[in-house]
Amino acid sequence: MSTLFPPTQEECDALYAHNPQMPPVQFWKRYTRGRWLRLGLTVLLLTFVIGTLACTECWGDARKMTVNYTMTFVYSLGLWLTNGYAVDWLDRYANWRREPVKRLVLTLLTSLGGSLVVITAINFWFLVIYRGYDPSVMLKPGVMARVMFPLLITTIISLVLHSRSFLMSWREALIRNERLQKEMAQAEAQTLRQQLDPHFMFNALNALTSLVEEEPKLAVRFIRQLSQVYRYVLDARGRDVVSLRDELEFAESYLFLQRIRYGEALQVEMPAPDSVSAQAVVPPLSLQLLIENALKHNVATAGQPLFLRIALDETGQRLRVVNNLRPRRLAPGESTSIGLPNLQGRYRHLTNEQVQVQRTDAEFVVTLPVLALESETVAV
């Protein structure tokens, strides 16, 4: 956790979870007060220990001891704040895990450079402004020693702070990786259940029975599309991403089967697979999950059809799936309410881009980031 800056949203959520009944304003005040109290106690402890050990000849002189403790306190507070801000700033702009070399170089520059500036400024104030010496006194060997000693102490403390930051970053990476693996396992299990949904197969076979008797040619096409759907399911199993073209072709086959059941009650608008980039990829069966959700949670009749629109934005980096809202009451156990969270978890495993879910009075909109095949965040 950071030492001086306000905590991140994730840090606040984790802390606030311990006492969710506390009003947010009171929680923030108590948290901030506690952070500064810990900082003050730490600086006072450092002042006492370092001040006592650094000037043993001052023990018998109250005035010298007071000056010694005051200078040590100013050193400790200034250097702790400087290095604390350095750690917080670097944690946000140079992550140990992603850029270890860059972080190490910046750590040395900001920590040692900032500490040297603070120490020099304190000595200049004490010797030149307070004591009245000529500014050239700053270049004398004795004064240089006054600069090097606190810089050495600061380097040791700074190493502790930055080592803690590195260990915390490494620990958070392990926790995040473990959480993502768990989410992926849950998502794969849920996807497998959806892939082999017996209701879908039951409805498909019922529709096929009617087609065989009434429209044999359409029945042959239905069988081919059903075969393509399950072939795609088998091919996509175990893969992190698939081509968006393949996903759209699969959606066409899946929607063909659904249109046989719903007829004019289902109206769909979607881009042609050949119109999208060959480098664009998405998690497999993403569209199937969203289409199935729309059909499951809404009423669709010939008089009031369900409109489903799948479209890429102008940049080709966002895929929007929109359906009008005609909510229907679900039977107990019909919906597990984990499909979208699992899809969001699968995206977190691949990229920092988030799945956006919006619900208005008239529409339900899910926006999926479209990944690039050459991106380092994608594992095929």
Q: Where in the chain is the domain with CATH 3.30.565?
A: 198-326+339-372
Report the mean per-residue pLDDT for the chain.
Answer: 76
DSSP lists the bridge partners of residue 365 as: 322, 358
Band of pLDDT at residue 346, cut at 50, 70 and 90 = confident
- Model-level pTM? 0.50
Pairing of strands 266-269, 318-324: unpaired
Helix axes 141-195, 62-93, angle to 10 degrees: 30
244, two tokens: 């968006």
* Residue 18 backbone phi and psi in degrees, to 5: -70, -25
More confident residue, 108 or 1: 108
Average pLDDT rounded to a whole number, residues 248-261: 90
CATH architecture of 198-326+339-372: 2-Layer Sandwich (3.30)
Q: Checking phi first, is residue 120 left (phi over 0); if not, alpha (psi -120 to 50) or beta?
A: alpha
For 64-100, write each residue's pLDDT tens digit.
778 777 777 877 777 777 766 666 677 677 766 677 7
pLDDT tops 60 at residue 195: no
Poorest-pLDDT segment among 195-204, 268-277, 342-351? 195-204
